[in-house]
């Protein structure tokens, strides 16, 4: 009898393991794409949904952008996005989707002021085409979205506002949105560390509002677009009430509201940290997933 019980327990254990394996997506953290534009290989991580390797179907895709100081592993290592995606897919909160996480270093996902590090060109001319050729992705606007936190939230908004023909939805968490006055007021030490290689070195005051900033200021981009252009993308904006960037995000909400652009705006209890982003990623993916579903 003991042997039968042990066999039964072992079978149950194996079955539970098989179910868990089937419900867990596949993660690859150290993928590479050769870039002629950037003149070096660019790393990326990718999450493939649980049924990817057992089906022949194609999937919608989310380009998930990391924050300053992180790399392509940030959303996996600290954000545990694969675990949240597995759970949301299993519960039917989001459709199965591919999540792609590129390494952007400290580029803010845009072309640098001197043209020596044109990450935005790389992203659209090399990265998206390579990814959507390599994996079974539905390569149309209706099934493509972009999301990110902080610097990645900035990139999310820049990309979706500039290229509304490419994305159905954009989810920006704690996005680095600043009014001109706040951008000019960034301390010189912080400027030298974070912005000098992207916007320009040794800039002070109004010098910082140069052509690179003007072409990438989120609030400026919103003002430069028509309501119809902005309405082409569904926007999710989420920022903590204790986050210094809550001011810029609130100004973005007001700017979109004044242009009568439908969008979701959240100010939740929290700060600029992974605790906040982990508690927000499922809702952001659900918002994106709703864009992928036929109404």
- Please give the Cα distance from 117 to 290 (Å, whole number): 35
Where the chain has pLDDT below 70, the residues are 1-22, 294-295
Predicted local confidence at residue 17, as pLDDT: 45
For 27, which DSSP code?
E
Predicted local confidence at residue 252, as pLDDT: 98
Given the candidates 3.60.20.10, 3.40.50.2300, 3.30.2130.30, 3.40.50.1820, the CATH classification of the domain at 25-292 is 3.40.50.1820
218-255 CB burial, b ≥16 within 10 A, e <16: bbbbbeebeeeebbbbbbbbbbbeebebbebbebbbeb
Predicted local confidence at residue 39, as pLDDT: 97
Decide: helix, strand or coil at residue 234. strand
- Please give the Cα distance from 23 to 269 (Å, whole number): 31
CB 136 within 8 A of CB 59: yes
Predicted local confidence at residue 3, as pLDDT: 64
Predicted local confidence at residue 222, as pLDDT: 98
Predicted local confidence at residue 80, as pLDDT: 98
Predicted local confidence at residue 23, as pLDDT: 81
For 270, half-sphere exposure in the C-beta direction (CA atoms, 13 angstrom radius) is: 17
pLDDT tens for residues 91-135?
999 999 999 999 999 999 999 999 999 999 999 999 999 999 999
């Amino acid at each position: 009898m003991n042997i039968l019980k042990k066999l039964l327990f072992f079978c149950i254990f194996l079955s539970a393991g098989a179910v868990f394996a089937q419900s867990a997506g596949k993660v690859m953290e150290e993928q590479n794409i050769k870039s002629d534009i950037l003149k070096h290989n660019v790393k990326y991580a990718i999450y493939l949904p649980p049924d990817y390797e057992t089906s022949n179907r194609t999937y919608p895709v989310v380009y998930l952008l990391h924050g300053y100081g992180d790399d392509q592993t940030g959303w996996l290592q600290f954000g545990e996005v694969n675990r949240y995606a597995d759970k949301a897919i299993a519960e039917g909160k989001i459709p199965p989707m591919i999540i792609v996480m590129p390494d952007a270093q400290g580029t803010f996902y845009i072309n640098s002021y001197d043209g020596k590090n044109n990450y935005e060109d790389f992203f659209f001319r090399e990265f998206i085409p390579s990814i959507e050729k390599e994996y079974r992705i539905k390569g149309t606007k209706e099934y493509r979205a972009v999301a990110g936190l902080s610097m990645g939230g900035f990139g999310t908004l820049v990309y979706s506002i500039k290229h509304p023909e490419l994305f159905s939805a954009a989810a920006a968490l704690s996005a680095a949105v600043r009014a001109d006055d706040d951008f000019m007021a960034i301390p010189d030490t912080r400027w030298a560390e974070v912005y000098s290689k992207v916007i320009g070195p040794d800039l002070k005051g109004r010098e910082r509002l140069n052509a690179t900033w003007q072409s990438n200021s989120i609030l400026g981009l919103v003002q430069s677009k028509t309501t119809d252009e902005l309405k082409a993308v569904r926007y999710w904006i989420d920022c903590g009430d204790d986050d210094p960037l809550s001011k810029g995000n609130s100004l973005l909400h007001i700017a979109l509201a004044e242009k009568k652009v439908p969008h979701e705006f959240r100010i939740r209890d929290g700060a600029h940290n992974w605790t906040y982003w982990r508690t927000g990623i499922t809702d952001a993916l659900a918002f994106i997933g709703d864009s992928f579903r036929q109404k």
